[in-house]
Amino acid sequence: MNFALPEDNLLRLLAQLNMTGTFNHTVSRMPYSREQVTFRIRIERGNPATAVRIEMGEMVHCMDVKTDDPEKHLKVADFIDAIANGRVDGGEPAPPRVTRQPLLPEPDALLSTDQTNRLRYMVRHGGFASLETGLALPINVAVHRTRPAEGVTIIASIGTAKPRTKCFTVRGDQHECLKRLLSSIEHLHIIATPQRAAAA
């Protein structure tokens, strides 16, 4: 297990690199240990470079980073990690820092806008729809409004010889009923797709 600057300190380090001052930090053994090492970082912000001095125990190391570099905090964090793990003097490169990546783009919607609007109408008034979701067979949906309690009874199925069917009643407002209906349709689509069912 290596020492590493906790990721939640990266934003704090970025803010500190935009000013001059002395700050205290810790590095921790990752990912499960609570063992920590405290160090001091002295920053002198200049133009075009910012000078960084790291004092960890009896070790003192210095580096310069470009003041306008948007990733300067990552470079300093990598340098701190290398010092804490004894790699600076040995010339061994630090492993690349893994930071949180942006979320993957959302997959395409299962239903078209027209189909979703049709289901929204059915939740309000009841009705039947046959939905094409890219499979060989459509998903058939019947919605019955419950009275006097607010809610719907839903029957959804896919297939003919051995249909997969869901039948349930949802109590609540129209938003909650639509949410449960869309979730049920997505589940039917998944279990009717052999590759997706195997991966689930």
> Could you identify the residue written with the tokens 């820092």?
97
Which among 145, 189, 195 is positioned nearest to 170, based on CA atoms?
A: 145
pLDDT of residue 196: 43
Tokens at residue 163, please?
């249909």
Question: What is the mean pLDDT of the segment spanning 121-133?
Answer: 92
Quickly state the pLDDT bin for 92 (edges 50, 70, 90). Answer: very low
pLDDT of residue 188: 87
27-40: per-residue pLDDT in tens?
A: 877 555 567 888 99
Give the CB-side neighbour count of residue 105, counting CA atoms within 13 A: 3
Kindly tell me if the per-residue pLDDT of 75 is higher than 60: yes
Give the span between the Cα atoms of 110 and 190, in whole angstroms. 10
Quickly state the pLDDT bin for 107 (edges 50, 70, 90). Answer: low
pLDDT of residue 29: 73
C-alpha 87: how far from its chain's center? 32
Asked whether 182 and 111 are in contact (CB, 8 A), the reply is yes
